[in-house]
Structure 1
Amino acid sequence: MDKNISLYSLILQNFIDKETIQKIKPDTILFQEDENVQHVYIILSGSVSVGRVHMKGKEFILKILNGEEMIIEYELFKHAPRYHFSAKTLSDCEILMIKREQFEEFVFNDKSAMNALVNWLSTRYL
């Protein structure tokens, strides 16, 4: 397999025919900060805000993700990982939601995917 293929492409090749693409309306919360990690999110189209809530309740947007981006919690492989931020759709979105366990199995069994994940985590996490 090509060493330079992106993690996004590898994930699509592996999961696009196995998982249902979710059509999600604007202002839908995908997950909240401190919830257990359930999924890896592959944004096919639309915009998603990633942020945190201050102690006083004010929401801070850390980044806005658009089509062809991913949300992967960096502590995914820890026992009982939790999200360190929240995510909410800003527009109509098409998102491929991959169960954490399936994603872990994919990465552990595919050296190219593991290398691509390490590269992605070291350069593009947020």
Structure 2
Amino acid sequence: MQQLYKLIDAIPESIQGKLIKRNISAGETILYKGEDVQHVYILIKGIVSVSSKFKNGQRYTFAQFGAPSFIGEVESLAEQPIYAANVQAVTPCTTLSMSTSTFWHWLESDTSFSLLMAQLVATKMYPSSNNNGTIKFMSGKQKLLHYLIDQYLPYDKNYFTLTIKKYPISL
């Protein structure tokens, strides 16, 4: 991620003047699923988690990442009107936020930034695409087995703890 640090250090002056620095406390939500996409954030310090809450009340955290990184860039690049997930600070964080129009101006005017953004999004999306492609074609029993293996605590081979809150499983 040295490239990203170099990029942050070389943000064009026309973009720097439009960035808003924000310190965020651990536990604070940076953006909510379903909110209008209005900003893209550069995470310059800290760790965030990405989660989604489902109709049954379950919250599923499917990613956690640290600085340096971007938040909200996928929705903006896909020209989606709403954020797809909640992003919450796990540790104290510092972000630089910009409007989506500023983000797009930067992309259009800086080839190095555009290429790095393409690489960052591809790196972020690849594990999900690879995993989803595998899981979608598994039978119910295979999905359950996959889930149980993921929950297994490798430091104690005699047992594992499985915590489920009244979540119906159909095989």
Q: TM-score range by the shorter chain?
A: 0.7 to 0.9
- Asked if structure 1 preserves the Cα contact closer than 8 Å seen for 2:4 and 2:68, the reply is no
Matched, 1:42 2:67: no
What SS is found at the alignment partner of 1:123? helix
Unaligned runs of 5+ in 2: 129-171
Letter of the aligned partner of 2:3 in structure 1?
A: S
TM norm structure 2:
0.62
Aligned CA-pair RMSD: 2.3
Q: Structure 1, unaligned stretches of length 5 or more?
A: none
Larger strand proportion, structure 1 or 2? 1
Identify which of structures 1 and 2 has the higher relative contact order when contacts are C-alpha pairs closer than 8 Å and 6+ apart: 1
Deviating above 4 A after TM superposition, structure 1's stretches of 4 or more consecutive aligned residues are none
TM-score between both structures, scaled by the size of structure 1: 0.81
- Partners of 1:81 and 1:118 lie apart in 2 by 20
- Give the number of aligned pairs: 122
Determine which structure has more spread, i.e. the larger CA radius of gyration. 2
1:1-126 equivalences under 5 Å are 6-7=3-4, 9-14=6-11, 17-18=16-17, 19-79=19-79, 81-125=81-125
Name the structure with the higher helix share: 2
Task: Look up the equivalent residue of 2:93 and give its one-letter code.
Answer: C
Distance in 2, matches of 1:39 and 1:12, equals: 20
Q: 1:23 to 1:36 in 2, by over 3 A?
A: same
Q: Percent identity?
A: 24
Q: Is the 8 A contact 2:25 2:93 kept in 1?
A: yes
Secondary structure, aligned partner of 2:51: strand
